[in-house]
A and B are shown apart, each in its own frame.
Chain A
Amino acid sequence: KQEVTQIPAALSVPEGENLVLNCSFTDSAIYNLQWFRQDPGKGLTSLLLIQSSQREQTSGRLNASLDKSSGRSTLYIAASQPGDSATYLCAALQGGSEKLVFGKGTKLTVNP
């Protein structure tokens, strides 16, 4: 059974800092790895999707990497801003299904 873990559960940084959020998964037979953002009281918004054959994906100040062999993904946020404050969730899509298995998220606070 796939298990997805995110460490740390919460992170507080000053504005302008570069930061890394970590995600690990136990079963490497994934189809892809996705990163979502969730604002308080809102639904999830897809940020980046990395296919199993890819090593990384970039969107603006965000860069996500995937290392299937070690069961790890990282989300790198450059030059953080207060507007980046949110909970970030990673999720693994199992091969042969359309089902996502989610981590519990990292709550990020960027202080002005």
Chain B
Amino acid sequence: DAEITQSPRHKITETGRQVTLACHQTWNHNNMFWYRQDLGHGLRLIHYSYGVQDTNKGEVSDGYSVSRSNTEDLPLTLESAASSQTSVYFCASSEWGTDTQYFGPGTRLTVL
């Protein structure tokens, strides 16, 4: 069955370190998204991609970057981790026209 996976599921890092969170989907979807979920803020869009070599900034993109070199993967990089980036991160994908987004299980990131 097609799925969307994230790794690692849990990560603890230190302030200032570079961190990369992986997202892999086997739906062959064109669209991929990264969200963060925080108490009191709900889900907020970080970056998104509509296809290979396409990336766009979302609502809370400062301090994050993504690259899309193939259809299946959209890694999220925290250039220099900050305590404010402690959160749960979700990756999602969708296909043009169907509109439903399929979500991964999430990565809980703690920045000390």
Contacts and interface: CB of A to CB of B under 8 A. Distances in A.
Interface residues of A, number: 21
Contacts of A32: 99
Interface string B9-44: 000000000000000000000010100000011111
Interface string B73-112: 0000000000000000010101010011111111000000
B35 to A, nearest CB: 8
Given A43-B104, A44-B103, A104 B40 contact: yes
Contacts of A89: 42-43
Contact of B41 (A42, A91, A98, A104): A104
Given A44-B90, A46-B100, A98 B48 contact: yes
Contacts, number: 50
Contacts of A93: 99
Nearest to A100: B101
Given A42-B106, A43-B90, A44-B90, A102 B99 contact: no
B105 A42 contact: yes
B63 interface: no
A103 B42 contact: yes
Interface of A: 31-32, 34, 36, 41-46, 49, 89, 91, 93, 98-100, 102-105
